[in-house]
Amino acid sequence: MSAIQAEYERCTPGSARMMARAAGPMPRGLTRSLSWFPPYPVVFDHGRGSQLFDVDGRRYVDLFANGMSLIHGHAYEPIEAALLGALGRGTAWPGASDAQIEFAELLCARVPGGERVRFANTGTEATMLACKLARHVSGRPTIVKAWDAYHGSYSDLEVGLLGKDEEPGRVELARFGEIETYERILAAHGDQIAAVIVEPVQYTGVVTVPPPEFLAQLARLTREAGVLLILDDCLMFRLAEGGSAERFGFRADITCLGKWIGGGLPVGAVVASAEMMDCFDLDPEHPLYHGGSFNGNLLGMLAGQIAVSDLTAAAIARIDAGAERLRAEIEAGAEECGVPVATHGVGGAFGLYVLDAPGGEVDAEASAALHLAAVNRGVYYGAGGEFGLSTALSDADLAATAAAMRGALTDVAALAGADVRG
């Protein structure tokens, strides 16, 4: 056992006990794959603002925001107040509400080209619905996605992940950032392709930033081929008030939203043109059915409206500036410690990886050690190296994080030295 793991186990006995208990009723003690890291994940008790608190009473600066689903941090006071005030009205009913209408109007105003909204409960539901919509309006069966791109827990969109190969006639696979791979697929199968779905910054695995003009090229390519472009903006709607389409300068036919747009509650949405969306329940000759008891529920609509309204251009600029400073501090600390690292991302969404040599490949074992060392020092980010900054982070939080990360890098350097000596 490494010194880093030994320290983790010393500091988190309550988490160890609760994870052992959780392994009885839940596979591996969890109900989402993202949470796991060895020897066992932290079990949290509560969160407030930029801080997380575990069952052992330890505090962490939260740089992950529940997989980037809490853009304003934990227990955001305006949302908390709105939810407490609304509970007496009930939570969901079989019809529209003032909050639902207002939130739909807000999303149409924020999403480039958005004219109609259909609410769901998660980003997974949104991408499933987008594929269903694209196949319906095009009359074609095939979706094109990128290898290693994550678009939720839908079997078609898990093609290209965890060794799952493409399904001819159903899902074809291209390479993110390589426009020629999309060109080849469209040339070969264009008359069967309903849509191309793309995550603007590929976040699964090693965070991958799109090459310059790639997204604009993809939008142009699909338009010329008569194929719909689905933008999975569940994570990257944070990059500008109008999301990644605004940030990167392109236009999608269908936009999928989820994660943070629910203000901490489960909300998903599909946004597209009126012409395309009006097939839902309105077209008597060719209708598209879409149900969901909790679609557009009152609490999610209230929380979401506040979350989206409060993510202003100024707030985004502050997040981006803080992320730039933090990345620079981590990279400087790594250089001082002699630990080669790389950071990849856009704005407040980025990944941190230890490399096997300067400019080399990702060292998965050393990266995992750095994550655990950071947790030991009170900094929590994704176990795969993912960072997602929130508006709740203060300058003091970022300074404390930078200092803790320098300490964690020192721990990893010492571990590497011990391995060499051993």
Q: Which of 144, 152, 134 is nearest to 183 (CA)?
A: 144
User: Residue for token digits 């050393």?
Assistant: 366
**Do the Cβ atoms of 258 and 123 come closer than 8 Å?**
yes
Q: Is the dihedral of CA 348, 124, 44, 162 positive or negative?
A: negative
| 336 and 292 within one domain | no
| 300 and 342 within one domain | no
Please tell me what DSSP assigns to residue 160: T
Confidence (pLDDT) at 40: 96
| 306 and 339 within one domain | no
| 269 and 135 within one domain | yes
| 41 and 116 within one domain | no
Domain boundary among 310, 339, 374: 310
Coil, helix or strand at residue 52: strand
Confidence (pLDDT) at 418: 55
| 259 and 324 within one domain | no
Confidence (pLDDT) at 420: 39
| Contacting residues for 370 by C-beta, under 8 A, at least 6 apart | 339, 341, 352, 354, 408, 409, 412
DSSP of 342-355:
EEEEETTEEEEEEB
| 27 and 158 within one domain | no
| 298 and 192 within one domain | yes
Tell me how many degrees the CA angle 366-364-177 measures, rounded to the nearest 5: 130
Domain boundary among 274, 292, 310: 310
Q: What is the mean pLDDT of each run of 10 residues along the chain (422 residues)?
A: 94 97 93 89 98 98 96 98 95 93 98 96 97 96 96 92 86 97 96 97 92 97 97 97 97 97 97 93 82 94 98 98 98 96 96 96 97 98 96 98 98 76 41
| Contacting residues for 232 by C-beta, under 8 A, at least 6 apart | 123, 127, 149, 151, 197, 198, 199, 200, 256
Confidence (pLDDT) at 166: 80
Q: Please report, for the domain that includes residue 8, its CATH number.
A: 3.90.1150.10
Confidence (pLDDT) at 419: 56
- Domain enclosing residue 397, as ranges: 3-71+313-421
| 180 and 39 within one domain | no
> Both tokens of residue 45?
């008790």
H/E stretch holding 303 reads helix 298-310
Count Cβ atoms below 10 Å from residue 35 Cβ, excluding itself: 16
Domain boundary among 310, 327, 349: 310
Q: Please report, for the domain that includes residue 297, its CATH number.
A: 3.40.640.10
The count of domains in the chain is 2
